[in-house]
């Protein structure tokens, strides 16, 4: 906070300079990326922003009204957003993977792509990508201070209002894409759709709805139908929209929303339908659940190319089905086929090897996504086990946000037959809103739930690891450990392994799931792309 206040003094003292001058001035070295990150964190405690957040809980429409005001203060008009040629994607699970597939396909056609996603795994810059890569530190710093300065300079005439972190980053992403002159933007919805900050756009070229599931119930409601209503809020009159196969009640709501808004809604075919004409399609992202996301990405990219650039060269047919347009397959171009195969999306069905330890990473955090994750792990771990030179031990590394039902999710993971389960808090700098005591209690609750679903536990085998030392193991062989944070859990998995099921194993397979924050902690520790 001290650095933040000092920064404000400096900015006002140099008020004769433009924001661009400040960002590019070589003598203004104190305005670093870390200064930007601290200032971004400070927005989460800004009194006016918190007051607005409370108001939007009562009247969600105010969120979009406020977002519109923030963009005006930054200097971004509705016409500027229209020129970004946006593809807008909502959904409970799979929307990030869908966006990644879509971005890679369109990049293959030679377009300069912008991709806005959330949350990030390690660095906030991951949320804003140009041509598939997170923007660099220099660009992030430059554009961050341009946007922040414009909001800071105008807040007194707007009741002192500043945005919270997410709307600020959304405005920043738009600013970056406009300044960097991208040819297409793939825009992932944050939460919901109807009242999400990204829904400020009026004229996307095409919209998509990935798989629906129960999540964020305190905001979106506790049924698939209620959640579908929010997701369908991104539909726009006359703008083509696509969805994957959905639960019947969710699909009915999407259909009704589309008819009300006068939006042509189509259901994507199975991925296998495309393969009848072009042979098997290989996906760069593993797991059968990715087939839905790949099919949606094919329709989104295909339609964007039709509407935007190639109106005569791509054709497909459709038939009516229960009020929806049911698409038949079209033959993907070689560029599309290559795009699907080349897609990478860290932290989603990703395999990372570190010596004798192989991490199977998936940020699944809903019931259906955990179910898909477990199926992927069982199949992929078994394949890896065939090439092992000795016994393979299986470890579950799990953590989840407190508002989610960890007991129900852990029950789905029991059939994976883990030799050991590790429960931990998130990376120390990723869970700052939760006290150490709450983190520990949450981990103990998860451990208790795990044992309730596992056989042969008598509530006497709990083992607790401190930050710096391993407490003596009880005489009875335990099968769980609790750690305060991700770093200490990883240290034990890779360096300790005193537990009997692990000490004599030739290889260890670790399924890391429940949260993208947890997966990000592993990537930061062991993946060179994130640990620089």
The three-state secondary structure class of 386 is coil
Q: How far apart are the first and last CA of the chain?
A: 27
In this structure, what token pair is assigned to residue 99? 């966006």
Pair 267, 244: CB distance under 8 Å: yes
Is residue 233 within 8 Å of 195, Cβ to Cβ? yes
C-alpha to C-alpha distance for 194 and 197, rounded to whole angstroms = 9
Please state, in angstroms and rounded to a whole number, the distance separating the CA atoms of residues 37 and 185.
24
Consult the annotation and say whether 216 binds a ligand.
yes
In Å, what is the CA distance from 411 to each residue of 187, 276, 417?
A: 34, 38, 11
- Which run of H or E residues covers position 512? strand 507-513
Which residue's structure tokens are 């991208």? 182
| The token pair that represents 421 in the structure block | 């389960």
Nearest to 189 by CA among 86, 308, 60: 86
CA distance 516 to 520: 6
Sole residue written with tokens 């920064």: 7
Which residues lie closer than 8 Å to 386 by C-beta, 6 or more apart?
none
Pair of tokens at residue 112: 């300069």
CB 276 within 8 A of CB 329: yes
Q: Under DSSP, is residue 327 helix (H, G, I), strand (E, B) or coil?
A: strand
Q: How far apart are CA 419 and CA 500, in angstroms?
A: 10
Is 378 labelled a binding residue?
no
Going across the sheet that includes 420-424, the strands are: 350-354, 357-362, 507-513, 392-398, 420-424, 480-483
Report whether 469 belongs to an annotated binding site. Answer: no
Confirm whether residue 362 is marked as ligand binding: yes
Please tell me whether 188 is known to bind a ligand.
Answer: yes
Q: How far apart are CA 29 and CA 39, in angstroms?
A: 16
E strands within 312-415?
318-321, 324-327, 350-354, 357-362, 392-398
Locus of tokens 């203004």: 28
Known binding residues for ATP: 348, 362
Known binding residues for Mg(2+): 118, 188, 216
Known binding residues: 118, 188, 216, 348, 362
């Amino acid at each position: 906070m001290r650095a933040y206040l000092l920064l404000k003094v400096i900015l006002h003292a140099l008020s004769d300079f433009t924001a661009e001058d400040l960002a590019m001035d070589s003598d203004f070295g104190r305005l670093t990326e870390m200064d930007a990150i601290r200032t971004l964190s400070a927005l989460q405690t800004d009194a006016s922003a918190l007051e607005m957040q409370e108001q939007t809980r009562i009247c969600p429409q105010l969120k979009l009204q406020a977002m519109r005001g923030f963009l005006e203060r930054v200097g971004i008009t509705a016409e500027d957003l229209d020129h970004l040629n946006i593809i807008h994607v909502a959904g409970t699970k799979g929307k990030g993977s869908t966006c990644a597939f879509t971005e890679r396909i369109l990049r293959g056609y030679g377009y300069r792509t912008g991709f806005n996603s959330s949350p990030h795994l390690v660095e906030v810059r991951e949320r804003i990508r140009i041509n598939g890569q997170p923007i660099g530190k220099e660009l992030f710093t430059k554009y961050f201070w341009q946007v922040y300065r414009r909001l800071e300079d105008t807040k007194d005439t707007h009741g002192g209002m500043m945005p919270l972190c997410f709307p600020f980053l959304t405005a920043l992403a738009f600013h970056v894409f406009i300044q960097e002159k991208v040819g297409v933007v793939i825009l992932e919805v944050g939460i919901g759709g109807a009242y999400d900050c990204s829904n400020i756009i009026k004229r996307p070229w095409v919209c998509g709805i990935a798989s629906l599931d129960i999540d964020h119930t305190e905001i979106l409601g506790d049924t698939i139908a209620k959640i579908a209503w929010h997701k369908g809020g991104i539909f726009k009159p006359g703008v083509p929209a696509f969805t994957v196969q959905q639960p019947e009640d969710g699909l009915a709501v999407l259909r009704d929303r589309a008819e009300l808004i006068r939006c042509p809604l189509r259901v994507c075919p199975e991925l296998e339908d495309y393969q009848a004409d072009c042979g098997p399609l290989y996906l760069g992202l593993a797991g059968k659940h990715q087939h839905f996301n790949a099919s949606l990405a094919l329709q989104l990219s295909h339609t964007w190319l039709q509407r935007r650039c190639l109106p005569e060269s791509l054709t497909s047919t459709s038939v009516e089905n229960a009020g929806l347009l049911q698409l038949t397959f079209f033959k993907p171009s070689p560029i599309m086929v290559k795009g699907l195969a080349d897609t990478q999306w860290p932290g989603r069905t990703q395999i990372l090897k570190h010596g004798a330890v192989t991490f199977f990473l998936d940020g699944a955090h809903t019931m259906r996504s955990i179910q898909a994750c477990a199926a992927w792990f069982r199949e992929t771990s078994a394949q890896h086990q065939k090439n092992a030179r000795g016994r393979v031990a299986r470890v579950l590394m799990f953590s989840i946000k407190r508002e989610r039902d960890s007991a129900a999710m852990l029950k789905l993971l029991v059939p994976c037959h883990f030799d050991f389960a590790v429960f931990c808090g998130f990376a120390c700098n990723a869970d700052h809103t939760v006290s150490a005591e709450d983190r520990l209690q949450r981990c103990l609750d998860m451990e208790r739930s795990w044992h309730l679903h596992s056989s042969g536990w008598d509530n006497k085998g709990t083992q607790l690891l401190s930050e710096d030392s391993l407490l003596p193991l009880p005489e009875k062989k335990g099968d769980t450990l609790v750690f305060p944070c991700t770093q200490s859990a990883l240290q034990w998995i890779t360096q300790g392994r005193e537990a009997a099921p692990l000490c004599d194993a030739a290889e260890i397979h670790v399924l890391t799931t429940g949260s993208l924050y947890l997966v990000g902690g592993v990537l930061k520790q062991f993946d060179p792309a994130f640990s620089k």
